[in-house]
Amino acid sequence: MPSSGDKIALWNRKLHYYFGLYLLAFVWLFSLSGLLLNHQWEFAEFWEKRNTVTFERVIQPPKGMLDLERAGDLIRQLEISGEIGSITTRAPDSLEIQVARPGTMFQVKADLARQRASVQQINVNGWGVFRMLHTFSGVQRTGAVERDWLLTRIWSFFMDAVSAGLMFMVLSSLYMWWDIKKKRRLGMAAVVAGIASCGFFVAGLRALP
């Protein structure tokens, strides 16, 4: 009969495979999009190739007491979907909203007195979508977390889940490696080299003169 240690080792190994296989597509997505963000490769140019469309619509005065409620009602009237980025009220009868989702950005300028809204819609290509997926979390530049779109909440949940999954992958790999006695020495050298090179950047650079 297998001991509890054997059972833990078995399930640790199985979960390492399962998490790894489930996370594969996400890991590739975030790795490659991270690489794109760190390099300005010409083939992945997206902003210069953007496509802008402007249109105007008749609107009803948006319902709600708070700016976010009014903005939400207005974008529903305009049949726009995405994460509301910023809301500006320059005058009592004006409402300006920025809405974004990977691949598309909207700038809405509503004249509430005239009951009209003009919308500038900017579409970017697949490379732009790819880059935006890496950073699309609903966290504002100020650090405020206001996820008003359901899909932003779902995507940020996946971001957390992928991170937690990767942490599990690391810990489970350490457990598996420690179980193989003849690979401990070389493995330890690899772990120490990793900690030294990474730790230097995390904690060591501050100590430099």
Partner 1 sequence: MLTAKTFYRWTRDLHLYLGLYLSPFVLVFAISTILLNHGWKPVGVPASPRVVDGIEIPQDLERVQGMRRALEVKKILAQVGVSGEINFIRTIPRENRIIIPVARPGQETTVSVDLKARTAVVETRETGIGDALIYLHRSPGPHNVAIRGNWLFTRVWRWLADGTVYLLLFLSASGVYLWVFLRAERRLGLILLAVGCTSCVGVIYAIVRG
Q: In this complex, which beta carbon is closest to partner 1, that of residue 65 or of residue 202?
A: 202
Give min distance, CB of 32 to partner 1, in A.
7
Shortest distance, CB of residue 67 to partner 1, whole angstroms?
Answer: 19
Q: Report, in Å, the least distance between residue 114 CB and partner 1.
A: 27
Are 173 and 16 in contact by the 8 Å Cβ rule? The answer is yes
Instruction: Return the bridge partners of 94, or none.
Output: 111
Taking the C-alpha atoms of residue 25 and residue 37, their distance in angstroms, rounded to an integer, is 18
Residues 6+ apart with CB under 8 A from 208: none
Helical packing angle, 4-38 and 150-179, nearest 10°: 130
Nearest CB to partner 1, comparing residues 67 and 176: 176
Residue type, 193: A
Nearer Cβ to partner 1, position 68 or 169?
A: 169
Q: Which is nearer to partner 1, 3 or 142 (CB)?
A: 142
Considering the complex, what minimum distance in angstroms separates the CB of residue 64 from partner 1? 21
The minimum distance between CB 62 and partner 1, in angstroms, equals: 19
Between 9 and 139, CB nearer to partner 1: 139
SS3 state of residue 65: coil
Query: To the nearest whole angstrom, how small is the minimum distance from the Cβ of residue 72 to partner 1?
Result: 14
Return the number of the residue (3 or 38) whose C-beta is nearest partner 1.
Answer: 38
Which of 136, 131, 138, 122 shows the shortest CA–CA distance to 80? Answer: 122
Element (H, E) at 46: none
Q: How far is CA 14 from the centre of its chain?
A: 28
The tokens describing 183, both together, are 């690979």
Residue identified by tokens 């609107």 is: 59
Which two tokens mark 206?
């501050």
Structure tokens that stand for 56 in this block: 């105007």
